[in-house]
Amino acid sequence: MQERPAGAVIVVNFPMGRGATFDWHRHDKHQLAWAERGVLNVQVEHATFVLPPSRALWIPARIRHETRSDGSASMRALYIDPRRWPGWPAVTPVAVTPLVASLIGHLDDHALRGARRARAERLLQDVLHPVPMSTIQLRMPRSAQARTIAERLIDDPADQSTLAAWGKRVGSGERTLARCFVAETGITFGRWRTLVRLQAAIARLANGGKVASVSGLVGYETPSAFVAAFRRETGLTPADYFRHMTGRAESA
């Protein structure tokens, strides 16, 4: 095995097949998880982040998390020494611009050492910027009936059933379920279902799906309704969300 270079940042590549999962674990170092190709789902405590190549996730040291791929993916994980790069204290989505992607590739060069490596690490630290509104964050409910509904909606985000109809299926009242979603996820059932749909849509769009078809697959009657919901939750249209990686958004 080739010796890893000394420095604050180590880059490790993980080819991931469809459904590949790194079960719940934690690291002594900070981690920056990025899918160079494909889509990553990273769950941290009760939150799930769906990450196309235009987004990476900063995971502070000792934070327990699980990482999986929706389809075939190529993950580049950066392991960062907390003593030399404190970073953000909380889990933080960041934008992966062409410059960031190039720097990650540069730092993956085992021949890069000494002062040259230190300069590249400082530059990466300088150009990483949080994007708090651009990644779907989804908390799972804890109570049995609400969690059953949540899991079924994740399996079939296009399900149009009302909360009352779900209540009859799981043996609980509509009002009780509504209170559970608000208390345990921080948002209403309606908004939670919207986030599930957008989470599923991001994975499909990143794998080449078109808005016109994906919108229907995740439960929207029209593409315009889907785009409006996407913009409301992320601050971007689907096209702009994925365009950041190419750099065209900066010049638009």
- Write the pLDDT tens digit of every residue in 26-76: 999 999 999 998 889 898 876 778 888 888 999 999 999 999 987 789 999
**Token pair 């097949």 in the structure block, residue:** 17
- Domains belonging to the chain, first-starting first, are 9-127 (2.60.120.280), 140-243 (1.10.10.60)
Give every CB contact of residue 85 below 8 A, 6+ residues apart in sequence.
Answer: 8, 9, 30, 121, 125
Give every CB contact of residue 134 below 8 A, 6+ residues apart in sequence.
Answer: 55, 93, 95, 234, 235, 236, 241
Give every CB contact of residue 46 below 8 A, 6+ residues apart in sequence.
Answer: 139, 140, 142, 185
Q: What angle separates helix 163-170 from helix 174-185, to the nearest 10 degrees?
A: 100
The pLDDT-based confidence of 147 (bands split at 50, 70, 90) is very high
10: pLDDT strictly greater than 60: yes
Enter the pTM of the model: 0.71
Can you say how many angstroms the Cα of residue 92 is from the centroid of all Cα atoms in its chain? 10
Averaged pLDDT of the chain: 89
The pLDDT-based confidence of 20 (bands split at 50, 70, 90) is very high
What would the pLDDT profile of 110-132 be if each residue is shown by its tens digit? 899 999 999 999 999 999 999 86
The DSSP result for the chain, as a single string, is -PPPPPSSEEEEEEEE-TT-EEEEE--SSEEEEEEEES-EEEEETTEEEEE-TTEEEEE-TT--EEEEESSSEEEEEEEE-TTT----SS-EEEE--HHHHHHHHHHT-TT--HHHHHHHHHHHHHH--B-TTSS-EEEPP-SHHHHHHHHHHHH-TT----HHHHHHHHT--HHHHHHHHHHHHSS-HHHHHHHHHHHHHHHHHHTT--HHHHHHHTT-SSHHHHHHHHHHHHSS-HHHHHHTTTTHHHH-
Beta bridge partners of 55: 95
pLDDT of res. 60: 97
The pLDDT-based confidence of 251 (bands split at 50, 70, 90) is very low
165: pLDDT strictly greater than 60: yes
